[in-house]
Structure 1
Amino acid sequence: MPPDPAHWPRHGWVRLGKGWASRLCSPMAPAERAEAEDWCRAGRPLVIARGRPGDGMGELRLGLATPDKRRIGLHVAADAVVERLDPLPLTEAVESAPEAWRPMLADLARRAQELGAAASVYGSLAWQHRTGLRYVRPESDVDLLFAPHGRRQLDRLLELLVAVGDRTPRLDGEILLPDGAAVAWRELAGRPARLLVKGPAEVGLRDLPSVLALFDREEAA
């Protein structure tokens, strides 16, 4: 297992090995630590979260979301990880969605794949699929993650998402930028002058032309 998680993607997943609590980089409240220990003992995974400025090399921020919508954060050394999983493909997660949602999500997965921008999923549907516990409610959104390559692919993907995004289930989520940051697809589709961009360890505003230029340069490369 590589010691430095700098290139491990946010919304990816890990499982921690025995004794992980001895590798904590920040203290946890006793009750939350006990719950996290029970969670890991059951073999359930944790999601990779955004780092924080000042985190050291080889340190990892993780999240545990419970079915009752509580959030527990963990800050551990990466060598506590015994298994790492990429963000969950939507094609895999469809089987864990409510039956009424499955045709729409399967069609979206197929159409995104045809564009060359395969969809991943995070949030409640991903937690439900990864754990077998019940997270999805009738009012839940589906959080999607896309990594389009080039401006034309981005534009076609946004057209697709705008066309289907307000059906049932409602679609939310992010577009990964070529530099590894991410922006909400709904915000990018609205073409505002400035966008809220989430980097590996920071959140900030960027102007729209600079974000689109990343895709233009990627297409030209």
Structure 2
Amino acid sequence: MPSDVWPRHGWVRLGENWADCLRSSLGEAEREEVADWCRAGRPLVIARGRSEDGAGELRLGLATPDKRRIGLHVAAEAVAESWGPLPLAEAVETAPEAWRPMLAELVRRALAVGVGPAVYGSLAWQHRTGLGYVRPDSDVDLLFAPRDRRQLDGLLDLLRAFGDGSPRLDGEILMPDGAAVAWRELAGRPDRLLVKGPAEVELRDLPSVLALFDREDAA
């Protein structure tokens, strides 16, 4: 299934027949925990696929506030409802009060660059479920999708300015080809970058990554 249909860091709510749609087995305890989670109406996050996955299959993750993780491999028919990655603007009021002014200012400045930030990780889980995931020392994981080199450079300047404050900002830049790279790694301008695709992880050289944004800018 194309990554724009099931984007990594997006969200789904499973239907009642989800267990019939499993494509990889779950242990009995994990299956019961997922069942309880779904009965409570809570969503799961869309994870990176694997090269061996078939068409119409997706990988999902369930993360609990105590940091346990359950991975699911299901057919798309299991999905009752889906959303894209959570906009940071929607999650600001879920964050600890001391973080809110900085996060709101980050949203404002990112929008001025032309890119609306999304959030994943603990703050997104807390917003989506109402459970307590965020700790005082938690990072905020952000996702940006700049369309061209001007937006990319503006975002990296912004993240350098805000990134080591409180809270610390981590996260990814989504590239025009659908793969993603950690913003901190890209900001360091190394010769080679670890790039996460929809179903694979690979090393790419810096010029080839930057060229993707140059082509978008020229289009």
- Cross-structure match for 1:219: 217
Contact 1:124 1:140 in 2 (8 A): yes
Identity %: 78
Partner of 2:116: 118
**1:138 equivalent in structure 2:** 136
**Structure 2 residue identity aligned to 1:140:** S
Question: 1:141, 1:123 → 2: CA distance?
Answer: 9
Task: Give, in whole Å, the separation in 2 of the partners of 1:54 and 1:71.
Answer: 21
The equivalent residue for 2:107 is: 109
Post-superposition offset of 1:27:
0.1
Which amino acid in 2 is paired with 1:120? A
Given candidates 180, 183, 186, the residue that maps to 1:182 is 180
Rounded to whole Å, the distance in 2 between the matches of 1:188 and 1:160 is 13
* Aligned residue type for 2:108: R
TM-score (structure 1 length as normaliser): 0.97
Question: 1:5, 1:59 within 8 Å by CA — same for their partners in 2?
Answer: no
CA distance in 1, matches of 2:35, 2:2: 22
- The offset of 1:5, in angstroms, is 5.4
Q: Does the 8 A contact of 1:121 with 1:144 survive in 2? A: yes
Structure 2 spans left out of the alignment, 5+ residues: none
Q: Distance in 1 between matches of 2:28 and 2:210?
A: 45
**CA positional deviation for 1:6:** 4.2
User: Deviations along 1:16-48, whole A, 9 cap, x unmatched?
Assistant: 000210110000111111101100110000000
State the Cα distance separating 1:179 from its structure 2 match: 0.0
Per-residue CA distance 1:23-82 (angstroms, 9 max, x = gap): 100001111111011001100000000000110000010000000001100000001101
How far apart, CA to CA, are the structure 1 residues paired with 2:2 and 2:82? 10
Contact residue 144 and residue 172 of structure 1 kept, 8 A: yes
What is the deviation of 1:114?
A: 1.0
Q: Do the aligned partners of 1:5 and 1:58 also contact (CA within 8 Å) in 2?
A: no
Contact 1:45–1:130 (CA under 8 A) maintained in structure 2: yes
User: Tell me, which stretches of 5 or more residues in structure 1 are unaligned?
Assistant: none
Aligned partners of 1:198 and 1:74: how far apart in 2?
A: 19
Among candidates 173, 190, 194, match of residue 192 of structure 1: 190
Q: Separation in 2 of the partners of 1:32 and 1:76?
A: 14
| Count of residue correspondences | 218
TM-score (norm 2): 0.98
C-alpha distance in structure 2 between counterparts of 1:162 and 1:71, whole Å: 31
Match of 1:128 in 2: 126
For the 8 Å contact 2:3–2:178, the answer to whether it is kept is no
Q: 1:149: how far off?
A: 1.1
* 2:82 paired residue number: 84
Between the aligned partners of 1:203 and 1:34, the Cα distance in structure 2 is 31
CA pair 5-60 structure 1, distance change in 2 beyond 3 A? farther
- Counterparts of 1:181 and 1:68, CA distance in 2: 29
